[in-house]
Amino acid sequence: MRRVAVLGSTGSIGRNTLDVIASHPDELQLIGIAARSRVDLLAQQLAQFAPAVVSVWEEEKARELSRLTGRSQILVGPEGLMALATDPRVDVVVVATSGHDALIPLIRAIQAGKRIALASKELLVMAGELIMRLVKEHGTSLVPIDSEHAALFQCLQGVDPSHIERLVITGSGGALWMKTPAALQTVTRDEVLAHPKWQMGRKITVDSATLMNKGLEVIEARWLFGVPLERIRIVIHPEAAIHALIELVDGTIMAQMSPCDMRLPIQYALSFPTRWANALPRLSLTQMKSLRFFEPDLTRFPCLRLALQAARAGGSACVVLNGANDVAVHAYLDDQIAFLDIPTIIEETLEQHTPAASLTLDEVLSVDAWARRTAQERILQWSTR
């Protein structure tokens, strides 16, 4: 029996994780859940799973949850998230929060020897070098949930690192892959949020439309698998049947295929190194009409160009990229800027920064705060023009 804590239980990944837990009562037990503010959903999850621990981000939300459920013991804020991530009853911590609030709880969970199932790619983009070093030092494991990285992780099992020529991350192309540059100027929010293949939270859906998501994934893969950037490739694959491939030195290519259902990589992250049977949808090979692959377009999708530039520049540039992108995407979702302003905000923030390598946790947090402040100031200048 694996005892699980889910940070971000009310989100898209969090809800899918609880579904996996409900489908495997003999293998998994939910010990605790945490969310920011959706207390109505948290109350339902408490009623269904009766976990021992629950945490919310703000005092007011804790009072609301207490009124709804009659619970008196509710953890709050960063301390609450940290206490859940390091709770002695927990074996596996699923990190599925949006934003950067779970960075320190993730680090403390690793230091406490917890096994990690990681969805929150932004945390690896910010502090991948540090996180992977701690995983090694504390002799624990970190299994990715992100579908492309789960695919790479599976393809790489049993493969000698010296036999790897290249990692290939696929992407469906997001909602706007077929749009012309002129059409991108007038794209609506509904079009941006209409991902053709995956049902996800709003921030990652915008990142998929700008292709920033693929850039973040390259940085994520670099730290997870210790493969240099020049040997990680992106291809656009609109059918999204193959989630990643590895190319070996003898010319062999191994690919991972599965339906677009996040419960599969979540289940694998929780079951690894074994596999459990399930009743999830299957991929039908005979119903697949074609498998197409394209080079990504860095001109129509400048966010991807910026992400690859930041990845090459190293350490702190990735922190700035991530912080500025997070602020810009939320400003877009809040109607403060237009879709094509997102890369401009990121680029202008990156231009004001001098990259440094190998950051400490304090340095990561300080660069992240600077990037968010700088991007926010730029947005405010625009909105008050």
Ligand X SMILES: NC(=O)c1ccc[n+]([C@@H]2O[C@H](COP(=O)([O-])OP(=O)(O)OC[C@H]3O[C@@H](n4cnc5c(N)ncnc54)[C@H](OP(=O)(O)O)[C@@H]3O)[C@@H](O)[C@H]2O)c1
Contacts for 191 with CB less than 8 Å, ≥ 6 apart: 175, 176
Query: Least separation, in Å, of the C-beta of 329 and ligand X?
Result: 11
- Cβ proximity to ligand X: between 80 and 302 the closer is 80
- Cβ proximity to ligand X: between 84 and 378 the closer is 84
DSSP 8-state class, residue 274: S
Query: Least separation, in Å, of the C-beta of 293 and ligand X?
Result: 21
Which residues 204-263 are close enough to bind ligand X by CB under 6 A? 204, 262
Query: Least separation, in Å, of the C-beta of 384 and ligand X?
Result: 28
Decide: is 108 part of the binding site for ligand X (CB under 6 A): no
Would you say 356 and 316 are in contact if contact means Cβ atoms under 8 Å apart? yes
Q: For ligand X, which residue of 44, 68, 201, 348 counts as binding (CB under 6 A)? A: 201
For 1, counting Cβ atoms within 10 Å of its Cβ (0-12 exposed, 13-18 middle, 19+ buried), the class is: exposed
Neighbour tally for 369: CB within 10 Å: 13
Q: For ligand X, which residue of 4, 11, 65, 169 counts as binding (CB under 6 A)? A: 11
- Cβ proximity to ligand X: between 152 and 378 the closer is 152
Decide: is 105 part of the binding site for ligand X (CB under 6 A): no
Decide: is 115 part of the binding site for ligand X (CB under 6 A): no
- Cβ proximity to ligand X: between 146 and 339 the closer is 146
Query: Which single residue brings its beta carbon nearest to ligand X?
Result: 11
Would you say 150 and 265 are in contact if contact means Cβ atoms under 8 Å apart? yes
- Annotate 163-197 with b (16+ C-beta within 10 A) or e (fewer): ebeebbbbbbbbbbbebeeeebeebeeeebeebbb
Decide: is 64 part of the binding site for ligand X (CB under 6 A): no
DSSP 8-state class, residue 200: -
Would you say 139 and 264 are in contact if contact means Cβ atoms under 8 Å apart? no
Length of the chain: 385
Segment interacting with ligand X (CB under 6 A) among 30-38, 278-286, 328-336, 338-346: 30-38
Neighbour tally for 224: CB within 10 Å: 25
Q: For ligand X, which residue of 62, 65, 92, 101 counts as binding (CB under 6 A)? A: 101
Decide: is 321 part of the binding site for ligand X (CB under 6 A): no
Segment interacting with ligand X (CB under 6 A) among 19-27, 116-124, 246-254, 332-340: 116-124
For 52, counting Cβ atoms within 10 Å of its Cβ (0-12 exposed, 13-18 middle, 19+ buried), the class is: middle
> What residues make contact with ligand X under the rule CB under 6 A?
7-14, 34-38, 57, 81, 96-99, 101, 119-122, 146, 198, 200-201, 203-204, 262
